[in-house]
Chains A and B, each alone.
Chain A
């Protein structure tokens, strides 16, 4: 699809229509929806990292006034199927409530239903559970070696251990005059939205319908809920007109939903679960990747990297849903923006007695990008070359696109060198170097951070067939329906929830652009799962491409239909007619025209004036496949993972007072190229928010565990989210390399910022610490750790 050269609404700095309801407190969040007679759930959780559940005494709780039910895992397991898992691991069943054995501290053991949330919590404390503590394992490498098994029946802690070889790795290493190998670690953190997970379910036994309102961001959510609850999907109605209070990947509350859905049906009462913050952080199963990398590269005297071996071991916690696939997504950009000819990639997912991992923004790509970028920095340092220059030498050049990487994905377009040049010019790179020098001369530690990253977007979930041969997924569609009513108003329907990405604005803008009408006049509504078209929800930076694309094509169908009606009514060939501002006319005979109102009237009222065989009315749907189609991986694991690849380049200056160890970001500039920008306000917000989130992951946020297996970060005083004080002003330098594959040239931008910020902060901190001989290859780089390392290095220096 060729992009129009000029847009009327696309790319203009228009307001985001969703904002009006939020600024007056009229968002409709899941906790705002209160069916009559609503009952409340509180959870009984295991205080041990692993324990046999010997007995559960519910009597005291059930005797309390206002308490309706206490559900245990045995009853729930009897009535439901295990939750869907991504990998083929039938002996690692995952259920909402533990059955016989609990496998992490905080795992749900029983659920109490009462008249109020407070009463339910009181009653949860009265449920007496007798446990026999069991041996446990927390460290991913230890779990990989064996010993304590998290799931005895599985026979190993390993969920996934696959090594891919793409290209002549051994040969390329042998031909490389230099090699470098190091280990880097990505600590366990997550996106931790301010709204916790909330789900309300109501069962109507006469209609046999389970209604669900949830703060959900999850592909295939209604399907998975129905399958686990042993209901036909047509008996589960998920309402998508619920505002989701932040997610960034994690709001996959399938276990919450199955629990509450079962209770609503069992009790014949509407039931709601609102996680409290402790529940959210400990038992909500929303932790992100915790990943150890071992990276080796072969390179020449010029710093040209020829080959890479990467081992990535991810500690996914006590059960697995979709999370091991987070090792698969990076395959789609395994060489980053660099021309590395061959790659060996070993992906390992192991079980431990920690909280279950879930999808986090960028689905595992951010840790991998951090590992790649740390490695490029170290290659430059090893050779005594400039880190920027080494990147420039290795990067794919504009004229090389489309560019096929060794793991089978073709990057659509890019102009990396130009983006870097623009950033350096904007930032005044020489001045930044001088400022670093001045700071160092003043006794500060100072460093410049450099990181590039790619943002794969709009994909087919091809990591499913790549990592689980029993799954043959090759499509991951999204949809839009447009109706023009008989008085000519336009309503577009989307088929998923949103969590702040402005999808209603996206759809309105695109439909307005195509039909040449004011986007504000386009009503955008959300279906429920039963009157829905297929959607795979806003994951993987896909909605600008996929929902935007579906809205484009649906609007195009409306336009085509209007032209066909006009052609028939005017008695001229359709090819002669032009659509403009809602009307259709013949440029060679301008009096031959039909207005919007006339055409709509014909479509809705006058079948005798419609082309023979045409359906009356003006309602169309478009179900859009991923651009480029889809296919299965080859035997050696090559597959087109994503169609579109955005690019970013981060540059920052960090100063660290050596007595405090606290990194302070003095300057932050990012070059951003996501192709055609549909809404500049939204793209800017995504970029800024992603950077803030990345700064958190790099410096502050960690789900730390004690040696006895308990989660230590249980509130926002232990788990530190960046406030307005911690996030510096960020300057964005825009560049636009349109994608040849999308309707306007747009690419994804939802994960932007988060993909590069952690690597950039790590680069800056390491540059600052280099004079002390310190290398920090583990995130988060907390103040305490940096302070200790700096103090030790200075003492060591003083001693020598």
Chain B
């Protein structure tokens, strides 16, 4: 069946089975491979994307359910070729990753937090990323990245990151 998806501001039409997950549709049909399969049962969070600005697990959602919503993947965060968003740059500054597999999802979860909360406490950051498992870092440099991004965004007097 056909599904019409608004992803990163553009409309895509994809031919999917009713059982096709949003994750598989993004990866296989739209070739947006920044979303990753980790557990495919909704625990690890590696498949996180934003649906109308809220972090959701794309492995637990059917592609057809996303019809009519604005989906944001990590590919939609970068301001342009070779450029990084403030948050992405902060992850590089603190080395908030190692293998990079959970990273796009981690950044989207943090992006969702920072779009609502410009001055998150450590607890709020931990809470926001606690649905995303990172097996490499022990989270310290991830938490620091989010805090650094929040600080820099405040310093630049920018509006909160928009989904």
Contact = CB atoms under 8 A, between A and B. Distances in A.
* A and B part of one assembly: yes
Interface range for B: 35 or more
Tell me whether chain A's interface is mostly helix, strand or loop, or mixed: loop
B37 A274 contact: yes
A22 B102 CA distance: 9
B113 to A, nearest CB: 12
Interface string A22-36: 111111010110000
Contacts of A727: 138-140
Interface string A10-49: 0000011011111111110101100000000000000000
Given A23-B107, A24-B34, A685 B141 contact: yes
Contacts of B94: 681
B92 A20 contact: yes
A635 interface: no
Contact of A194 (B34, B44, B92, B140): B44
A367 B131 CA distance: 29
B51 interface: no
A192 B140 CA distance: 20
A721 B135 CA distance: 8
A608 to B, nearest CB: 42
Contact of B133 (A31, A118, A721): A721
B150 interface: no
Given A277-B41, A500-B100, A248 B135 contact: yes
B101 A246 contact: yes
B149 to A, nearest CB: 11
Contacts of A717: 41, 43
A394 to B, nearest CB: 29
B96 to A, nearest CB: 8
B77 interface: yes
Contact of B95 (A16, A193, A248): A16
B137 A688 contact: yes
Contacts of A15: 92-93, 95
A191 B78 CA distance: 32
A729 interface: yes
Contact of B138 (A32, A499, A688): A688
B95 A27 contact: no
A715 B139 CA distance: 22
Given A245-B36, A716-B43, A730 B138 contact: yes
Nearest to B108: A25
B68 to A, nearest CB: 24
A566 B89 CA distance: 42
A24 B102 contact: no
A730 B143 CA distance: 12
Interface stretch (A57-65, A446-454, A488-496, A689-697): A689-697
B5 interface: no
B134 interface: yes
B88 interface: yes
A352 B77 CA distance: 50
A681 B95 contact: yes
A142 to B, nearest CB: 33
A689 B137 contact: yes
Contacts of A690: 138
B102 A194 contact: yes
A760 interface: no
A115 to B, nearest CB: 12
Best-buried of B20, B41, B99, B141 by chain A (most CB within 10 Å): B99
A776 B97 CA distance: 34
A500 B92 contact: no
B41 A715 contact: yes
Interface string A168-197: 000000000000000000000001111110
A23 B133 CA distance: 16
Contacts of B53: none
A753 B136 CA distance: 11
Nearest to B145: A23
Interface in B92-138: 92-95, 97-104, 107, 126-127, 129-138
Contacts of A323: none
Interface string B59-96: 00000000000000111011000001000110111110
A729 B92 contact: no
A287 to B, nearest CB: 16
A721 B44 CA distance: 9
A276 B143 CA distance: 29
A15 B102 CA distance: 19
A419 interface: no
B46 interface: yes
A196 B98 CA distance: 16
Interface string A713-747: 00111000101110101100000000000000000
Interface string A662-695: 0000000000000000000110111011111100
A536 B84 CA distance: 35
B30 interface: no
A658 interface: no
A102 interface: no
Interface in B4-60: 17, 19-20, 27, 32-41, 43-44, 46
Contacts of B103: 22-23, 25, 27
Contact of B39 (A246, A277, A682, A753): A277
Nearest to A31: B37
Contacts of B140: 684, 688, 727, 729-730
19 contacts: A15-B93, A20-B84, A23-B92, A25-B34, A25-B35, A118-B20, A195-B46, A243-B99, A245-B99, A277-B39, A499-B99, A681-B141, A685-B95, A688-B138, A689-B134, A724-B129, A725-B130, A727-B140, A730-B140
Given A246-B98, A500-B99, A691-B138, 7 more contacts: A23-B88, A24-B88, A195-B46, A243-B99, A277-B38, A277-B41, A689-B136
Interface of A: 15-16, 18-27, 29, 31-32, 118, 191-196, 243-248, 274, 276-277, 499-502, 681-682, 684-686, 688-693, 715-717, 721, 723-725, 727, 729-730, 753
